[in-house]
């Protein structure tokens, strides 16, 4: 099988497995990795949100206008590295009506001011 001139000029070549390999130096090592050993590093990172219930208060719902229990929750989002939470990104407080299920965000001062019981 002959290669076209265009394929022969490419800096990468195939070893038959369908994977392209980078061009190697005459000594057999990769140009980027002297001696043929190339150390690799990987990082596992992401965001994780933890939801915790702060309490329950009796209030009139903004949505349905019924006097019902309102569940106060705290949602804390943190940046994690190797599954270890490192840096807090955002903390939000939510209030959810147990009658209609409507959920809306409240400020931190409102969440701390509400009589939880």
Written as tens digits, the pLDDT of the chain (117 aa) is: 455 554 444 455 555 555 555 554 455 555 666 666 777 778 888 999 999 888 899 989 988 999 999 999 999 999 999 988 899 999 999 999 999 989 999 998 888 887 765
Indicate whether 95 belongs to any domain.
yes
The DSSP H or E segment spanning 103 is strand 103-106
Maximum distance among all Cα pairs of the chain, rounded to whole angstroms: 82
d(CA 23, CA 13) in angstroms, rounded, equals 7
Indicate whether 50 belongs to any domain.
no
Domain of 99, CATH number, reads 2.20.25
Count of structural domains within the chain? 1
Indicate whether 2 belongs to any domain.
no
Q: What's the pLDDT at 89?
A: 92
Which two structure tokens, joined as six digits, stand for 17? 């497995």
């Amino acid at each position: 099988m002959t290669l076209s001139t265009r394929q022969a000029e490419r800096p990468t070549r195939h070893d038959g497995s369908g994977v392209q390999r980078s061009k190697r130096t005459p000594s057999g090592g990769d140009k980027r990795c002297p001696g043929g050993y190339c150390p690799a590093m990987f990082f596992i990172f992401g965001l994780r949100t933890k939801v915790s219930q702060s309490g329950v208060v009796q209030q009139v719902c903004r949505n349905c206008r019924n006097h019902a229990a309102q569940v106060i929750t705290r949602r804390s989002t943190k940046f994690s590295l190797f599954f270890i939470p490192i840096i807090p990104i955002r903390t939000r407080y939510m209030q959810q009506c147990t009658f209609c299920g409507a959920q809306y965000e409240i400020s931190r001062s409102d969440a701390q001011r509400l009589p939880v019981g």
